[in-house]
Structure 1
Amino acid sequence: MELIDLSDLNVNEKVKEVLRSRGIVTLNPVQSEAVRKGLLEGKRLLLTSPTGSGKTLIAELGMISHLLKGGRRAIYTTPLRALTSEKYHEFKAWESLGIKVGMTSGEYDTDDAWLRNYQLIVTTYEKLDSLWRHGPSWLFETDYFVLDEFHYINDGERGPVVESVAVKAKRRNLLVLSATISNHSEIAKWLEAEAVTTNWRPVPLREGVLVPDRGGFVVSFADGSSYKLRGNDAILAFTRKVVDEGGQVLLFRNSRRMAETTARKVAELDLEVKRKEIEDLIAKLEEVDDAGSNEKEALRELLERGVAFHHAGLSRGLREVIEDGFRKRIIKVITATPTLAAGVNLPARAVIIGDIYRFNRKILGFQEEISIMEYKQMSGRAGRPGYDSEGEAVIVVRNRRDAERVFKRYILSPPEPIQSRLGNEPAFYSFLLGLISEGESTVEQIRELARQTLLSRELVDRYLDSGIPWLEENGFIELDEKLFLTKLGRRVADLYINPFTAQVVKDVLRKNEAVECNLAYLHLLAWSPDGPFVGVSKGEEDELIENVSCPPFLDEPEDEDDFYKYVSALKIASILNDWIEEIEEDVILGRYGIGSGDLRSLVETMDWLTYSAYNVAQVLGLEEHADVLRRLNARVEDGVKEDLLEIVRVPGVGRKRGRVLFQNGLTKPEDLVMNPEKVKALLGDKIGDKVVKEAARVIGGVL
């Protein structure tokens, strides 16, 4: 395939300057093919290629050429906040051309009117779907959409949102990027785009299995090559070889516990590290302020040996330190859960897939095999451009019979075809409410819009014919020749909660008197369809039920699956109740066996749900419930008792500093402004000075 030289690229010279500053002088095969297919002319494309093949630059060229030719606005969409932040920082380079780059994620109950001043916006699928429900004029003026990591449409949780966004985005100029899609022709036709498909990678990938053999192990690759390893542990033997050759390893395990246990085993290899770099990295670890002390201690011991574990239980600050250390090649090995493969760009010389099974309590035996797409996501991380001549991805298997089956299923087979995930009532009814929220439409107009999904016409009609009556009967919409949202429906659509969650809240609050029991409300919301989920051990179940501080609104269910969700919600309610009672974070993490990342995620979700429930109660006229939920929501965000709510309004004053200030008579922002020396004496000069200035801004003063 002929490559396109940067000098021959039909773009503005300033665009070429930005690319040259990154060391780009020639487009790679994937990028060259996209340009030949009409990328710079705004042609609608579905581009599928392996991880690390330069798809982000294709998106940048598409967006920037569109904007420089008079386009109004471009939006780049990702499935994860971490990716959104990463891309935002990459795209800031284009501000040298006068293009303002903005980012938005989270905070669903807003139309983000400030974004009208930005030409290139990076966001998540959930946030974009939420924004469409609010209908800001700047969004409807947007005329170019990039949908990244589009294979997430196959994800059971995020898939419905990705599809919902695609249905709306494909009315405009569109560029869709994805890892390999086996049914790309079908998806391209649905998107009314041309498929550009390639298997080219910047670093060739060898895929194989790691199988026991006499006196050690054999690594057998799909190209027929193999080599022998000696040792008692397959993972350790392979890791040692790669690191000794100057490479780095990403090691995937199927659970957090296995990732942490494996990291400790790898650390025993006593890998060679650069002591000064390790010490600097550990110093950064110590500065992280959103993590538990036990987590820091566990990671500190591993980092000293060039190893770290990585999973969603870690706080964002800890994950960023680990990722930075790996990118700078200070950390030699990361043991991780598969969530890392779907997150930030973090290539390694070699990838080890330690498990092809994962836990699923709904399946007899509790294990199911990972999908081929998940394997492709993990293996695709192998090979660091600029460092490695090739990457290696190996799957650990038990014997040669397993090796043959694994080869056939994962290495020699294409990933699963993309299918709609809107085929259930909660997902479709929420999608339907979103369509109706865009403006008054007839049933047939909504039907035509719904038929733009990947669902069959038969399924669309079936869900529509049951969904519209359900939404009408439960007070979300009204039908009078045209469909339109009721006051409740509008609020639910704007809050971006599932209508089934709103219905649960409505039914339970109407049946129960308001109570001064935060746990009852927290349990209800954690149990709702939008509620989060945490694992509960057998030993925890009885303890959680016996130690409730007040009766929940919900009765204990008899169905096993419902019961598991019930006790999960009870655990979440207990965690959040401790949080708002200002129990020390380390105590909470130890008491419930969770990580700092879990706690932050639970707080964020329950902040959204308590805010949503407060608004639903208000719309329904349930003022007493609304008052309890309003105060509860204010406390959840910062994890404080009610007496600290005033002082924590000041940025930089969290639950710990707030309590110190309160105990010393500084109870509101005005007190901080009037007593700056006292604040500095309590918090230190640097932090104290900053807090005083923030307090002045809160009360409208100027220092």
Structure 2
Amino acid sequence: MRAYVEAEPERIWSKLASERAVKPHVLASIAAGYASNEEELWDFFSKTFYAHQYGLGTMRAVLRRALAYLEENGMVVREDGILRATAFGRRTSELYIDPETAVLMKEALTSEGPGSLTDLSFLHMIAHTPDMWPRLRPYRRELEDLMGFLAEHEEELFFRPPDPELDAVGFEEFLGEIKVARVLDAWIEEEPEDSIMGLFDVQPGDLYRLVETGRWLLYAAQELAVLFGRREYAVRLSVLMKRVEHGVREELLQLASLRGIGRVRARLLYSAGFRSLEDLRRAPVRELLKVPGIGPRLALSIKEQVGGEISEEDLEAVKKEEWVQKSLLDYSS
């Protein structure tokens, strides 16, 4: 303990010490009304550790560049010296996404679109943004497969890849984005988690974070699509967001939305003929108990969630099933 207390303090650095990190905060300070002109903006940021560490001169130069970026991309307007966030800027700030992410999404959502619009189009769109995390590095052994996949699906993408001869690093990063999109696509096509981790060499934590980040970015894209009047995109993004959230194909969304029903149980119910909430509402509990993975308590929970009736016969079936399970447990112990 003495070694830690008496040790030389480590140097710390402000997290605002980059132009990209400053942009969201400049936008938020204007959108929230903390700063309505440049002087108020300087005053607001002069109280930060960033200003203390780097000095007011450096701070102003970085803030001016960040503000110029926001104005050039239609997030902030200046009228008689007054700074005001546009609807685009305000929504970007409310969604807590990087302004650079919002600009890329705007570019994609307001364009004519790729030659062939698919789920991959939107999955790569979010993978192309700086907010997508974690970034997946393509391993050398994967490059040939990723380049083949890119050549086959390039017409589905909103963004074109860099020329590998002119920008080898950028091209490799683009292949990493393709890898992220493929992982998410495998997830929504109901590939088992072990299979995804083995096929793409990702860890469980990485897969979890990709799913969470993907769901958030698809929601943000949906909101921006509404803002830009692209209703057809908004509808597709809404469905895709739910598929990423649950990791299922579209036909399972109703079932997977039920509490206690994940992607595996949803597929088992669907395969057993229960393909909608109405099917579950009409089904006797004893029929649900025949589905693998559906125990007595879960069967009753399903019926309660869908508003189905539970008969005396159903309750007897549940009691019998619970008794059988208890007896098996007693026997095994």
Amino acid aligned to 1:550 = H
Amino acid aligned to 1:603 = V
Kept in 2: contact 1:638–1:654 (CA 8 A): yes
Larger strand proportion of the pair: 1
Aligned to 2:290: 681
Distance 2:272 2:224 in 1: 38
Question: Residue 424 of structure 1: CA displacement?
Answer: 1.9
Aligned to 1:614: 222
1:502 pairs with 2:102: yes
Kept in 2: contact 1:440–1:482 (CA 8 A): no
Distance 1:678 1:439 in 2: 59
1:641 pairs with 2:252: no
Aligned to 2:161: 556
Distance 1:425 1:512, change over 3 A: farther
Matching of residues 483-562 of structure 1 within 5 Å: 483-513=83-113, 515-532=116-133, 533-548=135-150, 550-551=153-154, 552-557=157-162, 558=164, 559-562=167-170
Aligned counterpart for 1:468 among listed residues 67, 82, 86: 67
Aligned to 2:26: 432
Kept in 1: contact 2:123–2:181 (CA 8 A): yes
SS of equivalent to 2:101: helix
Q: Can you give the 5+ residue segments of structure 2 that lack an aligned partner in the other structure? A: 309-333
1:417 pairs with 2:19: no
Distance 1:599 1:696 in 2: 34
Amino acid aligned to 1:544 = L
Distance 1:680 1:587 in 2: 29
Aligned to 2:76: 477
Aligned to 2:274: 666
Larger helix proportion of the pair: 2
Kept in 2: contact 1:673–1:692 (CA 8 A): yes
Amino acid aligned to 1:500 = E
Distance 1:544 1:680 in 2: 44
Kept in 2: contact 1:440–1:483 (CA 8 A): no
Distance 2:94 2:289 in 1: 42
Aligned to 2:312: none
Distance 2:10 2:34 in 1: 38
Kept in 1: contact 2:29–2:35 (CA 8 A): no
Kept in 1: contact 2:190–2:263 (CA 8 A): yes
Kept in 1: contact 2:30–2:36 (CA 8 A): no
Amino acid aligned to 1:448 = D
Distance 1:587 1:567 in 2: 20
Give 4+ residue runs of structure 1 displaced > 4 Å after superposition.
none
Aligned to 1:691: 302
Distance 1:517 1:605 in 2: 20
Distance 1:544 1:512, change over 3 A: farther
Amino acid aligned to 1:462 = A
Distance 1:525 1:672 in 2: 35
Mean alpha-carbon deviation: is it higher for 418-427 or for 553-562? 553-562
Distance 1:423 1:440, change over 3 A: closer
Question: Residue 440 of structure 1: CA displacement?
Answer: 6.2
Distance 2:237 2:69 in 1: 27
Aligned to 1:446: 41
Aligned to 2:203: 595
Aligned counterpart for 2:175 among listed residues 554, 567, 581: 567
Kept in 2: contact 1:429–1:467 (CA 8 A): yes
SS of equivalent to 2:110: helix
Question: Residue 684 of structure 1: CA displacement?
Answer: 2.0
SS of equivalent to 1:563: helix
Kept in 2: contact 1:525–1:531 (CA 8 A): yes
Amino acid aligned to 2:185 = N
Distance 1:520 1:541 in 2: 20
Kept in 2: contact 1:647–1:653 (CA 8 A): yes
Question: Residue 639 of structure 1: CA displacement?
Answer: 0.8
Kept in 2: contact 1:614–1:625 (CA 8 A): yes
Amino acid aligned to 1:497 = I
Kept in 2: contact 1:523–1:569 (CA 8 A): yes
Aligned to 1:650: 258
Matching of residues 88-167 of structure 1 within 5 Å: none
Aligned to 2:330: none
Matching of residues 29-108 of structure 1 within 5 Å: none
Kept in 2: contact 1:520–1:550 (CA 8 A): no
CA RMSD of aligned residues (A): 2.4
Aligned to 2:316: none
Distance 1:524 1:542 in 2: 22
Matching of residues 287-366 of structure 1 within 5 Å: none
Cα deviation digits, residues 243-279 of structure 1 (max 9, x gap): xxxxxxxxxxxxxxxxxxxxxxxxxxxxxxxxxxxxx
Distance 2:8 2:176 in 1: 37
Question: Residue 490 of structure 1: CA displacement?
Answer: 1.6
Amino acid aligned to 2:95 = L
Q: Can you give the 5+ residue segments of structure 1 that lack an aligned partner in the other structure? A: 1-200, 206-375, 381-411, 698-703
Distance 2:275 2:82 in 1: 53
Amino acid aligned to 2:89 = G
Kept in 1: contact 2:113–2:158 (CA 8 A): no
Distance 1:516 1:645, change over 3 A: farther
Cα deviation digits, residues 638-668 of structure 1 (max 9, x gap): 1111111122121111111111112223223
Question: Residue 566 of structure 1: CA displacement?
Answer: 1.1
Aligned to 1:331: none
Cα deviation digits, residues 529-559 of structure 1 (max 9, x gap): 1112023211112211212462232222242
Aligned residues: 292
Kept in 2: contact 1:527–1:565 (CA 8 A): no
Amino acid aligned to 1:461 = R
Cα deviation digits, residues 275-304 of structure 1 (max 9, x gap): xxxxxxxxxxxxxxxxxxxxxxxxxxxxxx
Distance 2:200 2:178 in 1: 12
SS of equivalent to 2:77: strand
Distance 1:482 1:674, change over 3 A: farther
Identity within the alignment, %? 31
Question: Residue 692 of structure 1: CA displacement?
Answer: 2.8
